[in-house]
C-alpha cells in the first residue's frame, strides 16, 4: 500500500527560527510575534486531529542533550519503505544533523519489522545532502523517487539511493518565490494512491513539466494542479495516510486548505477525505507545514 498506516512526530521542545536553514528555505520568516509556546500548542492540536481522524501515530520528545529548533520536522532525517528498509539521510544544516536520534530508531525497530538500515549520513562530510521525504516524494506503488534538485537534494546521491532500493529516480528543477531552487520537493508536490497534487508552474522547463505530468498520469494518477501562489501557501505540502479502518485521509494545514478553490477541493474529495489544522507558527518560523511534521511508516506494526 502506498499510503502509510502510521506516522510518527517529534515534539517541538526547542522550536524556533533556525538561521542555519533560512538561506536555502525561502518559506521561513523570522516573525517576532511567533514563539515556541505557540508552536507547542499547535503541535498538540495536530495530535488531537490524528486521534479524531483515527490515525495511528507515535510521539517522541526532542533530544534533551542538544538544542534542535527543527526537530518537529523528522521526515527529513528518516523514512521507512514498504519493504522494511529504514533510511537515515544526510542533512545540510549542521544543527539539524543533531536531530538524528538512535533512541527513536531503536524503538521503531522494536515496534515494526524493520529489515534493513541504510545510513547515508556520512555523505554530509563530503557536502552531499538528501533530506528524506522532504527531498524525495516517493511513489511506492510504482517505485519512483521524484525530487527537485536543490542545495539540499543532491542528484548523484538521489540516483545512488534509488538504484540501491530498486526505485527509478525522476529529478527535475523547481524555482521558488525568490527565483531560487525550491529547497524541498514536498512543497512542490504530493503523490497519493490515485492522485497527485503538483505545482507544474514552479517547473520552468516546459519539457520537464510535461514529463513530470506524464509520469504521474502514466502511473494512474489524476493530476490536480496548484498555482505558484497556492504552493507558497503550502498547498503542495500534504500527506495521504490510512486511518485504522483503512480509509484514506489527506492531511494538510488550514493555510493550505484555504488556498484551494472549490473545484480543487471537489476533485480531491473524489478520492479522499480531507482533514486540516491551523499551524501558522510552525509554518512561519519553521518554513514547513503539516506534511513535514509527519514521518510516514509504510509497514504495519509487529503482530498485525
Please return the burial class of 107, using the count of CB atoms within 10 Å of its CB with bins 0-12, 13-18 and 19+. middle
Distance of alpha carbon 184 from alpha carbon 174, whole angstroms:
9
The mean per-residue pLDDT over the stretch 257-266 comes to 98
Question: CA 299 to CA 82: how far, in whole Å?
Answer: 5
Identify the three-state secondary structure at position 171.
strand
pLDDT at 287: 77
Mean pLDDT of the chain: 93
Average pLDDT on 263-273 reads: 98
Give residue 1's pLDDT: 72
CATH assignment at residue 93: 3.75.10.10
Q: Is the pLDDT of residue 10 over 90?
A: yes
Does residue 20 fall inside a structural domain?
no
- Whole-prediction pTM value? 0.93
> Is 28's pLDDT higher than 50?
no
Q: What is the pLDDT of residue 21?
A: 56
**Residue 19 included in any domain:** no
Is residue 61 a part of any domain in this protein?
yes
By CB atoms closer than 10 A (0-12, 13-18, 19+), residue 169 is middle
What would the mean pLDDT of 194-222 be, rounded to a whole number? 97
In a domain, 21, yes or no: no
For the chain, report the end-to-end CA distance as a whole number of angstroms: 15
Whether residue 243 has pLDDT greater than 60: yes
- Written as one string, the DSSP assignment of 17-79 is --HHHHTT-TT----TT--HHHHHHHHHHHHHHHHHTT-EEEEEPPPSSS--TTTT-GGGTEE
Q: What is the pLDDT of residues 75-130, one digit of tens each?
A: 999 999 999 999 999 999 998 999 999 999 999 999 999 999 999 999 999 999 99
- Tell me how many domains the chain contains: 1
pLDDT band at residue 17 using 50, 70 and 90 as cut-offs: low
- Asked whether residue 18 is domain-assigned, the answer is no
Model pLDDT, residue 16: 62
Q: Is the pLDDT of residue 53 over 80?
A: yes
The answer to whether position 154 is within a domain reads: yes
Tell the residue number behind the cell numbers 495530535, with chain if given: 47
Cα separation, 132 vs 183, in Å, equals 12
Domain that holds residue 255: 6-11+31-297
Task: Tell me, yes or no, whether 25 lies in a domain.
Answer: no
- Checking if the pLDDT of 286 tops 90, the result is no
Q: How far apart are CA 70 and CA 18, in angstroms?
A: 7
More confident residue, 285 or 302: 302
Query: Could you tell me if residue 302 is inside a domain?
Result: no
Residue 9 in this model has a pLDDT that exceeds 50: yes
pLDDT band at 249; cut points 50, 70, 90: very high
Looking at per-residue pLDDT, the higher value among 33 and 194 belongs to 194
Amino acid at each position: 500500500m502506498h499510503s502509510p498506516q502510521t506516522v510518527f512526530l517529534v515534539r517541538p521542545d526547542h522550536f524556533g527560527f533556525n538561521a542555519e536553514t533560512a538561506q536555502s528555505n525561502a518559506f521561513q520568516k523570522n516573525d517576532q510575534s511567533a514563539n515556541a509556546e505557540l508552536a507547542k500548542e499547535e503541535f498538540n492540536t495536530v495530535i488531537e486531529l490524528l486521534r479524531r481522524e483515527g490515525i495511528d501515530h507515535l510521539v517522541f520528545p526532542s533530544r534533551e542533550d542538544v538544542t534542535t529548533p527543527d526537530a518537529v520536522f523528522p521526515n527529513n532525517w528518516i523514512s521507512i519503505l514498504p519493504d522494511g528498509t529504514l533510511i537515515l539521510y544526510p542533512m545540510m544544516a549542521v544543527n539539524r544533523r543533531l536531530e538524528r536520534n538512535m533512541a527513536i530508531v531503536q524503538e521503531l525497530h522494536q515496534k515494526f519489522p524493520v529489515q534493513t538500515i541504510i545510513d547515508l549520513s556520512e555523505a554530509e562530510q563530503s557536502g552531499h545532502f538528501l533530506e528524506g521525504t522532504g527531498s524525495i516524494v516517493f511513489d511506492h506503488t510504482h517505485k519512483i523517487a521524484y525530487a527537485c534538485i536543490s542545495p539540499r537534494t543532491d542528484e548523484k546521491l538521489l540516483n545512488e539511493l534509488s538504484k540501491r532500493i530498486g526505485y527509478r529516480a525522476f529529478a527535475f528543477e523547481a524555482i521558488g518565490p525568490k527565483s531560487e531552487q525550491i529547497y524541498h520537493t514536498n512543497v512542490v508536490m504530493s503523490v497519493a494512491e490515485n492522485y497527485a497534487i503538483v505545482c507544474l508552474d514552479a517547473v520552468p522547463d516546459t519539457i520537464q513539466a510535461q514529463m513530470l505530468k506524464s509520469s504521474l498520469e502514466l502511473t494512474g494518477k489524476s493530476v490536480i494542479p496548484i498555482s505558484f501562489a497556492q504552493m507558497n501557501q503550502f498547498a503542495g505540502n500534504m500527506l495521504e495516510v490510512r486511518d485504522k479502518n483503512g480509509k484514506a485521509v489527506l492531511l494538510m494545514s488550514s493555510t493550505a486548505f484555504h488556498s484551494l478553490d472549490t473545484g480543487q477541493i471537489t476533485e480531491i474529495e473524489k478520492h479522499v477525505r480531507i482533514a486540516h489544522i491551523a499551524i501558522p507558527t510552525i509554518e512561519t518560523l519553521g518554513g514547513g507545514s503539516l506534511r513535514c511534521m509527519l514521518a510516514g511508516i509504510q509497514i504495519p506494526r509487529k503482530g498485525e
